[in-house]
Structure 1
Amino acid sequence: MSGPKVVHIVTREEIIATCQGILAQLDQAINQWQHAMQNLAITDDTFLQGIINTREKFNKLLAEDKFSDIQRLVPIEIKQLQANIIERKQVIITTLAKQREEARQTKENAQLLINAIAQKGLHLPKALHNELTQIIQGNYQGSATAVLNQVFGYLVPEQQTNVLTAKQQAILNSMNVDKSTQTYTDWLTKHQTSQRDPRFNQIDHYLSELALENKNVYQSFIQRLNIAETETIKQQQNLLLDSILLDLSKTVQEAKKRTQLLAKLELIVAELKQKSVEPLKLDIQQFDQLTIDELTTLVENCEQQLIKVTNTITATYRQQTLLQCLSKLGYEVRSDMQTQWIKDGRLVIRNPATPGYGIEFTGQAENQRVQVRAVRFTQQEDRQRDKDIETLWCSDFAKLQAWLAKQGDSLILEKSLPIGQVAIKQVEAEQNSTIIKENVKKYF
């Protein structure tokens, strides 16, 4: 069947270019992982060696022409690296949030002790009182637990073990002293608030995320939280906490979105650099200064640029490959034909062995599918001669497929009409040119 047909073209060179592009993205993903570990102060030589080994395996697959394995496995590896960064961040975020919760509990415990000391009319040594104040303010650098236990010792003096006389016991009973044998832990259990405001836990989690995503604004939220914690009017404190929680939620989401956009942009730029002939006019160092909207627009523009570059490369490989093989089959191929095909989206090629006839290719090569058909340059119609030409083209098409397959390319027939089912398309060719004028309509 060598009437008009639709074929699917894929070249070895374009597949290699695709693999090299996604490997460039993988290299950037590895750089992102290493940079993230550095920022998180994490050292994992075993995991890093696994990454290196996997990268070397992909080089081996490329050398062995296992292109489908590369296209299938590399995106998975990139996602795994990105997921590993997120998992490690989450572990640190959970730890930081727990530390913040414990620190807040310690400050609350210190305040409970100060209140209890004041209620009993007791006085602490100045140095100990200063340490307790520093704990409440979150500025103490030593062991807060040791200080709190020491203060508790003043609140609940160690019970006398010797036998008291009735008079001594009466005096002791008249003193405003807690004579119980309860421990500091027991005392806290009794006096701590049973239910803490859940907003504090939410704020702690957001602050822990912000500490990793955007340290520039982290301290401003800490200052706002300190003010809210010391606010004694409950209604006012509620307003402050709600405001902090709302702003924190928005800031954290924006920071995470920015991180995702930057990571995606870096991967796209890495592939663009690998494929582009001319240097990219992009300053990666300035990416951090862009707003989220600007980053989003830049990502979209770079994606479109990558598609354009990839299509150009793909079309070039396909056109070069087809024209080279057609030249081997005896067709007249000139140096300007590739440019003409790109410009017009169609091309007509003559074969000196069949004067008055040629082959027409219609469609942009980057779209994979191209319409191919025999055409006639003369107005005089000879149906038998037309069938003979289509039969000859059938033989040439089979040779073309075989040559392409031998060098790792493919020309797959997707649709074809039988010889003679439709009249050969007549075109008028200008002298020494591939520019043509149609005299009949397309059949596909």
Structure 2
Amino acid sequence: MSGPKVVRIVTREEHEAICRGMLARIDAALEQWAETGRRNDCLDAPTVEAACRRRDALAALAAEGKFAEMQAQAPAEESFLRSDMRFRLEKAAAAKAAARTHARRRCEAVETLGRAAAAAGVVLSNEVMRGLADGEEAALAEGFRALAASRPASGRASALAEQLSRGEEALSFANWLAAQPAAPTDPDVERIEARLDELLALGHVRDIASLRTRVNEAIEAPSPRRGLILDGLEVETGRVLAEARKAADLRTALRVLLAEMAQAGLPVASFTVSEDAAVVSEVIQARLATAEAVLAKHRAHEAASARRAAIMTGLAGLGYEVREGMTTTCVANGSLVVADATRPGYGVEVIGTSDGRQFQMRPVAFDASGDPADTSRDRDAETVWCGQVSVKPPPN
């Protein structure tokens, strides 16, 4: 008889399991994406609905048996959700920085108004004073109107007061404030504050209050001390942010992996980590590595079982005598021989690897005691076997 033929097996069950796992990962990534977006007010309902539709389209591909398409598109969608959220968090941080700058300019306007009113002898009402203390733009506008009314109607201030008093849309106080030259800013302070905003967006609230206090201290400090405080904050915030980013990426990776494990029916409680920012990256990395190993072992076992079952089912369909327990025998011994029910004295030997990914199969003849070998029948049996099995050459 001829040598063995090598057959590589990839079952439908294996493809379906992979697709289910990918969908579980996307569901977890989508949930985290939406949660983070809502927490930082940087996602709207139509955007979330569009992401859900893309997820459903991937599920439809799997249901239609378009496994290759689904498995090619799913990782791209998961990657998009991660990168899109980073982009949105950056925009949210920029918006917070702009709001902070506006608030500072408003405070400067309050101080300017107070000095100008005192110098002009203008008495502002208690209501306006309370509004100024709260930083209300309406109170600022009222104060500027009172100040302008006490002076000759000339110049830019009088024009502003006239427009405000008439209620015209030509120029609001907010627009006027925005049009004023920006006060000099310290790029070191802005960079450190941006880091704090990103830490807050990542949910890393530990030490934020103390760091902000030190930033405010630096803003008010004289030049030599200011530089020392900012140098220290530069180092510390850089270190804390790098750790927070790494931990956030690892948490996301662990979250989607545990979703995939749960979908496969594996327990995940022992691999979870708390949301406490005090949990260091090394702990999360260790849990992630262990969970990956457990899932890989489970997937390999399930795939191997499905491949062996597929071989046995195929041989039974070709008329070979496949009995219960033969799959287990193949696992234990690494090989088995099944008889051809339609051709007595002949069968097929199946030799499989431990992972069931490759099988060697060859026709065999059973020795009959005292009977000489019939080479003609052997050739016929081999010809029939080659016609039954179509084998593609393995890829390079």
The TM-score, its normalising length taken from structure 2, stands at 0.75
Q: CA deviation at 1:109?
A: 6.4
| Aligned residue number for residue 72 of structure 2 | 72
**Do the aligned partners of 2:271 and 2:291 also contact (CA within 8 Å) in 1?**
no
> How many residue pairs align between the two structures?
369
Q: Which letter maps to 1:240?
A: I
Is 1:282 aligned with 2:267?
no
| Aligned residue number for residue 307 of structure 1 | 296
Cα offsets for 1:394-439 (capped at 9, x unmatched):
53354244xxxxxxxxx64429xxxxxxxxxxxxxxxxxxxxxxxx
**Do the aligned partners of 1:357 and 1:376 also contact (CA within 8 Å) in 2?**
yes
CA separation of 1:281 and 1:354: change in aligned 2, threshold 3 A: farther
| Aligned residue number for residue 172 of structure 2 | none
CA separation of 1:313 and 1:387: change in aligned 2, threshold 3 A: farther
Q: CA deviation at 1:105?
A: 4.5
Give the distance between the partners of 1:302 and 1:358, measured in 2 at CA: 40
Give the distance between the partners of 2:188 and 2:145, measured in 1 at CA: 29
SS in 2 for 1:216: coil
Of 332, 339, 356, which residue of structure 2 is paired with 1:351? 339
**Do the aligned partners of 1:199 and 1:241 also contact (CA within 8 Å) in 2?**
yes
Of 240, 243, 247, which residue of structure 2 is paired with 1:254? 243
Give the distance between the partners of 1:55 and 1:375, measured in 2 at CA: 50
Give the distance between the partners of 2:376 and 2:287, measured in 1 at CA: 54
Q: CA deviation at 1:13?
A: 1.4
**Do the aligned partners of 1:356 and 1:377 also contact (CA within 8 Å) in 2?**
yes
The TM-score, its normalising length taken from structure 1, stands at 0.68
CA separation of 1:15 and 1:393: change in aligned 2, threshold 3 A: farther
Stretch of structure 1 that moved more, 383-392 or 97-106? 383-392
**Do the aligned partners of 1:62 and 1:70 also contact (CA within 8 Å) in 2?**
yes
Q: CA deviation at 1:41?
A: 3.4
Give the distance between the partners of 2:353 and 2:80, measured in 1 at CA: 39
Q: CA deviation at 1:42?
A: 5.0
**Do the aligned partners of 2:6 and 2:359 also contact (CA within 8 Å) in 1?**
yes
**Do the aligned partners of 1:2 and 1:391 also contact (CA within 8 Å) in 2?**
no
Q: Equivalences for 1:15-414 in 2 at 5 Å?
A: 15-42=15-42, 44-106=44-106, 140-143=133-136, 147=140, 150=143, 160=152, 196-213=185-202, 214-232=204-222, 234-276=223-265, 278-282=266-270, 284=272, 286=274, 288=276, 290-343=279-332, 346-351=334-339, 353=343, 355=345, 358-366=348-356, 368-374=357-363, 389=378, 392-393=381-382, 395-401=384-390, 412-414=392-394
**Do the aligned partners of 1:363 and 1:370 also contact (CA within 8 Å) in 2?**
yes
Give the distance between the partners of 2:52 and 2:363, measured in 1 at CA: 53
Give the distance between the partners of 1:205 and 1:107, measured in 2 at CA: 20
| Aligned residue number for residue 404 of structure 1 | none
Q: Which letter maps to 2:69?
A: D
The answer for unaligned runs of 5 or more in structure 2 is 161-175
| Bigger relative CO (Cα 8 Å, ≥ 6 apart) | 1
> What is the alpha-carbon root mean square deviation over aligned residues?
4.2
Q: CA deviation at 1:253?
A: 2.1
Q: Greater CA radius of gyration, 1 or 2?
A: 1
Q: CA deviation at 1:324?
A: 2.0
Q: CA deviation at 1:269?
A: 0.9
Identity value in percent:
23
**Do the aligned partners of 1:287 and 1:295 also contact (CA within 8 Å) in 2?**
no
CA separation of 1:254 and 1:322: change in aligned 2, threshold 3 A: same
